[in-house]
Structure 1
Amino acid sequence: MGVEKAITFLNKGNAIFAWVPLLRVWLLKKVCKRQMIEWFKEKDGK
C-alpha cells in the first residue's frame, strides 16, 4: 500500500514537472501579448 502510494505520488510529480515548462511558455506568451497591447495603446495615444 505504502509503495503504491509513493509510486502514484512520484508519477503525479513527474506529470507536474513535465507541465511546468509548458505553463511557463504559456504565461510568457500571455504577458508578452499584454505588453504589446499596452505598447500599441501608448503609441496610439501619443
Structure 2
Amino acid sequence: MRTAARDIVIVGGGPAGLVTALSAITRTPSLAARIVVLEGERYP
C-alpha cells in the first residue's frame, strides 16, 4: 500500500464533495496536490 501526506481528506465524491474540493483549491491553489477525495462507488 502506498501512503502520502494529505492536508484535506474529503469523504464522498458526489456533488457536495467535489464542490468542497474545488472550493478549497480555488481559495488556496497550493493545496491542490494535498487534497484527496475518497469515493466508495465505482464509476466507468
TM-score range, shorter chain: 0.3 to 0.5
Question: Taking CA–CA contacts closer than 8 Å with sequence separation of 6 or more, which of the two structures ends up with the larger relative contact order?
Answer: 2
The structure that has the greater radius of gyration is 1
Structure number with the higher strand fraction is 2
TM-score by length of 1: 0.33
Structure number with the higher helix fraction is 1
